[in-house]
């Protein structure tokens, strides 16, 4: 299979949160492969640096990795300021960082609930807040927020996560209206099960468990990180210049 290259992304600054592994890693690879100036945040320093090293020789621009705890808003905003200083104003923001930790509803404490919201929603709000002025300066921009189909299907062990991912959609709609006059587009992606290494290791460790999910899809293939990255590339590129306030499901037609 062959996929589109987006010339409009060449040399643009793209910021990705949670970029050292999983879907985030695929975002970093995809945008770097399209010639963007990629910056990404993560807590895993070893994985982040390894990804930079892996792409340094082939990428048009060596990615910039910054260790950042996105749940600490001051740290998040400081890291975004560092990206601006190093690479210039951000043209595309991919709000990807998340944690789909399973929880027993009856046992969740207020502190655990607040932590769930912080890692799955709050940083999306404040990263966008920090980047919008840079996009206004540029005269355009694209924000892509990662949601999930969990809030649509009612996953019982993911109530906090699903609530946060539903909030992402509401925020996406409101922010799109707020910043549209500046030609800033805001969209969301709501994946189904994506077969990252983490998902297979923790939640779907057997071929049978994966097959059960795929059996509920219209398409008979697993959704892979590259499938999500290909959509993010389109939404960040000029090709989608009149698309905003949308949430796109990538789930193989899962019923």
* Nearest residue to 16 (alpha-carbon basis) of 146, 121, 117, 115: 146
Distance CA 149, CA 250 (A): 9
Q: Which residues contact 155 (CB under 8 A, 6 or more apart)?
A: 161, 162
Helical H segments across 3-122, by residue range: 22-33, 45-56, 73-87, 110-117
| Contact by Cβ (8 Å): 182, 140 | yes
**Pairing between β-strand 64-67 and β-strand 184-191 as defined by DSSP bridges:** unpaired
Q: Which two tokens stand for residue 76?
A: 């998040």
Is there a catalytic annotation at residue 125?
A: no
Catalytic residue among 6, 105, 125, 161: 161
Give the helix/strand (H/E) hosting 109.
none
Task: Check if the beta carbon of residue 126 is closer than 8 Å to that of residue 97.
Answer: no
Residues forming the active site: 161
């Amino acid at each position: 299979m062959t996929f589109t290259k987006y010339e409009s992304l060449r040399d643009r600054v793209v910021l990705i949160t949670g970029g050292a592994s999983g879907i985030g890693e695929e975002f970093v690879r995809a945008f770097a492969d399209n010639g963007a100036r990629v910056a990404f945040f993560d807590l895993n320093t070893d994985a982040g640096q390894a990804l930079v090293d892996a792409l340094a020789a082939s990428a048009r621009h060596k990615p910039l990795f910054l260790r950042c705890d996105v749940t600490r808003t001051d740290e998040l905003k400081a890291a975004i300021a560092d990206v601006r200083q190093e690479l210039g104003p951000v043209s595309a923001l991919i709000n990807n960082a998340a944690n789909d930790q399973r929880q027993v509803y009856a046992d969740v404490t207020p502190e655990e609930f607040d932590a769930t919201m912080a890692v799955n929603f709050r940083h999306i709000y404040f990263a966008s807040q920090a980047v919008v002025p840079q996009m206004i300066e540029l005269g355009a921009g694209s924000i892509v927020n990662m949601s999930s189909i969990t809030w649509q299907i009612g996953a019982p062990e993911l109530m906090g996560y699903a609530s946060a991912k539903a909030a992402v959609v509401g925020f996406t709609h409101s922010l799109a209206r707020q910043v549209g006059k500046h030609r800033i587009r805001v969209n969301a992606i709501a994946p189904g099960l994506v077969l990252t290494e983490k998902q297979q290791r923790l939640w779907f460790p057997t071929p049978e468990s994966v097959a059960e999910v795929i059996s509920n899809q219209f398409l008979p293939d697993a959704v892979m990180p590259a499938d999500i990255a290909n959509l993010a590339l389109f939404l960040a590129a000029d090709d989608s210049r009149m698309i905003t306030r949308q949430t796109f499901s990538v789930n193989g037609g899962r019923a």
